[in-house]
């Protein structure tokens, strides 16, 4: 939904705001941002790669732009996924 906090947060990041600016503008908790960090922590403990989640985390942290994230993901070597 375009009115959800997570959607608005992502839209603000895509428009160039940093994570803190986006959270201040929304003025409510953005669950997806915190969940992303937790998911990566769990994935690391389980030795699982989560490239999309990692890219989202990097965008939230400001170490990667959305455009850079897409390029990085599209350059990944296609491989068989395992459970």
Confidence grade of residue 83 (pLDDT, cut at 50, 70, 90): low
- Per-residue pLDDT at 61: 93
Q: Each residue of 19-76: pLDDT tens digit?
A: 999 999 999 999 998 899 999 999 999 999 999 999 999 999 999 998 999 999 999 9
Number of H helices, E strands in the chain: 5, 0
Q: For 1-83, where are the alpha helices, taking DSSP H only? A: 5-14, 19-26, 31-45, 51-61, 66-74
| Distance, CA of 71 to CA of 76 (rounded, Å) | 9
- Per-residue pLDDT at 28: 92
What is the helix, strand, coil percentage profile of the chain, to 5?
65, 0, 35
Q: What is the pTM of this model?
A: 0.83
- The structure tokens listed for 35 are 């969940």
Burial of 53 (0-12, 13-18, 19+ CB in 10 A): middle
């Amino acid at each position: 939904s375009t009115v959800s906090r997570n959607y608005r947060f992502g839209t603000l990041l895509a428009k160039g705001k940093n994570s803190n600016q986006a959270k201040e503008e929304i003025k409510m908790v953005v669950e997806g941002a915190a969940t992303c960090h937790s998911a990566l922590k769990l994935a690391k403990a389980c030795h699982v790669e989560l490239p999309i989640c990692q890219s989202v985390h990097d965008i939230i942290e400001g170490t990667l732009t959305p455009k850079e994230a897409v390029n990085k993901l599209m350059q990944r070597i296609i491989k068989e996924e395992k459970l």
